[in-house]
Structure 1
Amino acid sequence: MNQHLIALDLDGTTLNNQAALTTATIQTLRAAANAGHIVSIITGRPYRIARHIYDQIGIKTPMVNFNGALTHIPHEAWDKEYAVELTRELALDLLDHRQELGIKTITVEDKFHVWANHPTKDLPEFLPDHLTKDQLLNGHNLTTDPIALTIEYRSGEEGKIIQAVNEKYGDFVEPRVWGGSYNILELIHRGTHKESGMFYIAKQFNIARQNIIAFGDEHNDLEMLDAAGRGVAMKNAIPAIKDVADDVTSVDNDHNGLAKYLQDYFKLSVPTSHEQAV
């Protein structure tokens, strides 16, 4: 079989409902990499909370963070690395107007750093639950343009924030509301989505579109699955993702749906083992 790019969303797709990798998933992804395929994580997560997953899988291929805004090879100085940045002005402007806009927490990140207006325990894996003095978001500490900006807002206030952002920064900023029960709004550079990172990686390895297989479950996976040669929705995916997908896994992310699909599709030989999360 031709070399493929296997593009992997993390939460709700590669990870189970405890946000962990199972042994079966790790072994399957390693088998795919050993068979010569390019296994790439393409996630909305920042690098700081995706690096350990990359390391557990044990791959050495490029990774995409912030929904396409950062593409790099972890632990390497890759000359093809790129970042699509927002502006420092945007972050500090929203910080100044957070009360009137209904903003609870503003988290600003680049590849290695995170700043926030205060720590929060509302979403501990994604938003910082503790901050050092130099991580406090202000004009003194934030000296460079960030890659991503995440807003936790008061329930029902997202429309006000989106309107304010669109009026002043809409020419280059695109607001996206997280799905599910989260009151989270993400600001990304307009036109930057997961598929841009996916195609960038494919180009580096001369992989044609028809040899790209992508997996996902949520709104931020839509462009990626729609653009891939083969877009695969998880059984637990939202309807909009299943609508654009070419196929759907037979079981969900909590029952190794990704691993089973890859084993069948690529005829991978994976040793059986006890199914524990690692």
Structure 2
Amino acid sequence: MVTDIYNQLDLDTPMINFNGSLGFNPNKKWQYEYKYNIDRDIALHFVNHSEELGINLITAEDRDLFLANRPAAHEALGFFPTKLENKNILNNDSLKTNPICLTLEVKPEKEQSFINYVKDKFNNKLQISPWGGPNSIIEIAAGGVNKVTGIKKLADFYNIEQKDVIAFGDEFNDQEMIEYAGFGVAMKNGQPKVKAIADDVTDLDNNHDGLADYLENHFKI
């Protein structure tokens, strides 16, 4: 889906995905292409202990991989599919390689205990990023990897100084990126904690082209 949007925009630049865990150019070889993986056994640990850990849904992804333990019960969760083919069901047999990213929906009352469990059991092996908002969605990446990882890769590639980086975000997984950027902007619909650390806040939200509106006014285009 992201590649489809990339092609619709007729881009030809490197693209960063999975909270900074994957950097590549969809249409040609990029000499600085990279990815950080999660150990397959860790991913399967969450699958096999999902009930006791309070995990309702879990997906495992790579550049050309999408697996989920079960379909979502309703479309309100957005990211999680409501229909799955057998080949896309996440289990010990279907997950054959180390995934790049895990995305989980956990029971709200279990969210903090799950976060504590991951930190205690896997120490520095994993980076855990709650989304915040109405649903208890958590993303898990390789330890020490977040959106700043990707920004640094691109900034180095294009010789852009940190002070000249502008970043937009709305959820908790954008905090490091907002803090790192020379100018961090929170979306109008963003989490209060994200707005508190941002240099500015957009006038419009995600559903009303808030980012585009801000760029047009900020850069007078």
TM-score, length of structure 1 as denominator length = 0.72
Q: Judge conservation of contact 2:14–2:30 (CA < 8 Å) in 1.
A: no
2:109 to 136, 139, 156: 156
Percent identity at matched positions? Answer: 42
Q: Does 1:87 align with 2:39?
A: yes
Question: How far did residue 110 of structure 1 move?
Answer: 0.8
Question: How far did residue 183 of structure 1 move?
Answer: 2.3
Match of residue 31 from structure 1 = none
Q: Deviations over 1:181-221 (max 9, x none)?
A: 11222212222111110111011111111221111222111
Question: How far did residue 138 of structure 1 move?
Answer: 1.9
Which region of structure 1 is more displaced relative to structure 2, 248-257 or 180-189?
248-257
Write the distance in 2 (CA, Å) between the matches of 1:145 and 1:65. 16
Aligned residues: 220
Structure with more contact order per residue of length (Cα contacts < 8 Å, sep ≥ 6) = 1
Q: Which runs of 5+ in 2 are unaligned?
A: none
Match of residue 135 from structure 2 = 182
Question: How far did residue 232 of structure 1 move?
Answer: 1.7
2:187 to 234, 237, 262: 234
**Aligned AA (2:100):** I
Q: Does 1:62 align with 2:14?
A: yes
Match of residue 203 from structure 2 = 250
Q: Does 1:74 align with 2:26?
A: yes
Write the distance in 1 (CA, Å) between the matches of 2:192 and 2:78. 26
Q: Judge conservation of contact 2:19–2:147 (CA < 8 Å) in 1.
A: yes
**Aligned AA (1:171):** N
Mark the CA change 1:153 to 1:112 in structure 2 (over 3 Å): closer, same or farther: same
Mark the CA change 1:142 to 1:215 in structure 2 (over 3 Å): closer, same or farther: same
Q: Which runs of 5+ in 1 are unaligned?
A: 1-48, 269-278
TM-score, length of structure 2 as denominator length = 0.89
More helix by share: 2
Q: Does 1:117 align with 2:69?
A: yes
Question: How far did residue 119 of structure 1 move?
Answer: 1.9
Q: Deviations over 1:161-193 (max 9, x none)?
A: 223322321221122222111122221222211
Question: How far did residue 140 of structure 1 move?
Answer: 1.8
Write the distance in 1 (CA, Å) between the matches of 2:217 and 2:156. 26
Match of residue 49 from structure 2 = 97
SS of alignment partner, residue 171 of structure 1: helix
Question: How far did residue 84 of structure 1 move?
Answer: 1.0
Q: Which has the larger radius of gyration?
A: 1
Mark the CA change 1:83 to 1:264 in structure 2 (over 3 Å): closer, same or farther: same
Question: How far did residue 104 of structure 1 move?
Answer: 1.6
2:212 to 259, 268, 276: 259
2:118 to 147, 165, 184: 165
Describe how 1:187-202 pairs up with structure 2 within 5 A.
Answer: 187-202=140-155
Mark the CA change 1:267 to 1:159 in structure 2 (over 3 Å): closer, same or farther: closer
Match of residue 220 from structure 1 = 173
Match of residue 50 from structure 1 = 2
